[in-house]
Amino acid sequence: MAGFSIRHVSKVYGGAVPTVALEDIDLTIHDGEFLCILGPSGCGKSTLLEMLAGLQLPTSGEIVYGDKILQGPDRRLGVVFQDPSLYPWRTVFENVELGLEIRGVKKADRKNTVQKYLTMVGLDGFEHKYPHQLSGGMKQRAGLARALANRPDVLLMDEPFGAVDHLTRLQLQNDLLNIWEAEKKTVVFVTHDVNEAVFLGDRVVLLSPRPGKLKQIFNISHQRP
Ligand code: ADP
Ligand code: ADP
């Protein structure tokens, strides 16, 4: 287990008119914390999350994870996007199982692990359904189970509940907090919704509008049961 150290990170996208997405971000992400990254559309939240996932590299500066500079995707880092992109021809069970299959985990072990995480996200009984048979919230639950089944140390989530209705979203937020407390993982959660950030986060990092710069860090003290 380990945290991130983001040191003087900037990201510029090339093209006819280069876009400075992020400018000189300095931030430490602690092991086990629930950190929300908040800011208006276009401030670079997704860019920052993709860099934490090793899916993009900084233009300058560096991101250290554990004791190494992050240079690409890493199995210890699980990612959940707004669109869970489940394979339509695979059942819920088979979608969650895929990462384990690719890693050569034995069938019996796969079954136990997949079932454990489907139960954890509230999808018991939906194992044999196909994605088109699920509501948006349930698809997102399946995406979360898929990420958890790979047993990452960190969950990187980009507006995961942005496309579900309000009540479903509140349920998903509560369930995610319970999972975070039970699993003791580091969670980095991107949102443009102030309520969501303050409800979920131990700390909320506010980015300024484009180019994204670190504006302020809020510590939230929760009275959680
Ligand atoms: P947010 O997630 O906060 O909405 P993004 O990280 O998606 O912000 O985008 C930050 C800025 O970088 C925006 O101005 C966006 O248009 C630009 N941007 C994002 N991805 C690319 C890309 N692949 N190529 C060029 N510009 C991009
Ligand atoms: P969520 O379960 O994520 O809160 P909804 O509020 O849309 O999603 O669904 C409420 C309940 O209705 C679900 O828990 C599920 O039992 C059932 N349901 C919703 N959509 C479907 C569907 N397409 N097929 C089968 N059952 C469904």
DSSP 13-82: E-SSS-EEEEEEEEEEE-TT-EEEEE--TTSSHHHHHHHHTTSS--SEEEEEETTEE--S--TTEEEE-S
Q: What is the pTM for the complete model shown?
A: 0.88
Mutate to test the pocket of ligand 2, among 135, 140, 174 (most ligand atoms within 8 A of CB): 135
Nearest CA to ligand 2 atom 4: 168
- Which ligand is nearest the CA of 158, by number? 1
Q: Which helix (H) or strand (E) holds 158?
A: strand 154-158
Q: What is the pLDDT along the chain (225 residues), one digit of tens a residue?
A: 579 999 999 999 998 999 999 999 999 999 999 999 999 999 999 999 999 999 999 999 999 999 999 999 999 999 999 999 999 999 999 999 999 999 999 999 999 999 999 999 999 999 999 999 999 999 999 999 999 999 999 999 999 999 899 999 999 999 999 999 999 899 999 999 999 999 999 999 999 998 999 999 999 998 876
Q: Under 8 Å CB-to-CB from 38, ≥6 apart: which residues? A: 45, 191, 192, 193, 194, 197, 204, 205, 206, 207
The answer to whether residues 21 and 13 touch, using CB atoms and an 8 Å cutoff, is yes
Instruction: State which of 12, 19, 56 you would mutate to test the pocket of ligand 1, scoring each by most atoms of that ligand within 8 A of its C-beta.
Output: 19
Write down the ipTM of this complex: 0.72
CA of 187 to the centre of ligand 2 (A): 26
